[in-house]
Amino acid sequence: MMGQRRSNVILIGMPGSGKSTVGVVLAKQTARGFIDTDVIIQTSQGRSLQDIVDRDGYMVLRRLEEETLLRISFSNHVIATGGSAVYSEAAMVRLKSDGFIVFLDTDLPTLKTRIHDFGTRGLAKSPGQSLDDLYRERLPLYRKHADLVVECRNLSHEEVCAKIIEELGFLGKS
């Protein structure tokens, strides 16, 4: 399905869609490294995503995310991106050049049961923007950039990984 160069699996989706959890499981199952770009941003800045949003604003977080995504270079990794990664066309093109973009499509009711800290989670959203608004704004971007959409409703993290492995076919054959 893909050439040798595109060896990464990049997970995109809303906060609460399971990118980090699925990413760790998928990396273990396919003998790949795991990278969480939110952790890279927090480590490089020496502070939490929420602190960046609170002190500098959500657009600064988006800029830091874009810079991080344009700078990183890995092969044979599962990469969990921040939920706002899809706002950067340049970052998405860069990630797609090295990997296969998988959208973990999680419905809004499920996200609402998973996200209990919406106001303090460090989300790159405008002040006063609700989860519903953010979902409606981002959904078309996730679909636009995805090479594969995995409907996650009523699936465990392991079942989501199994779907990704089945659909991509090349995983586990590093």
Q: What are the tens digits of pLDDT across the range 127-140?
A: 777 888 989 999 99
CA distance 124 to 9: 23
**pTM, entire model:** 0.91
Asked whether residue 15 carries a pLDDT value surpassing 50, the answer given is: yes
> String of b and e for 4-16 (b: at least 16 CB within 10 Å)?
eebbbbbbbbbbb
Query: Domains in the chain and their CATH numbers?
Result: 8-168 (3.40.50.300)
pLDDT computed for residue 172 by the predictor = 42
The residue length of the chain stands at: 174
CA distance 141 to 29: 28
Q: E strand or H helix at 78, and its extent?
A: strand 77-80
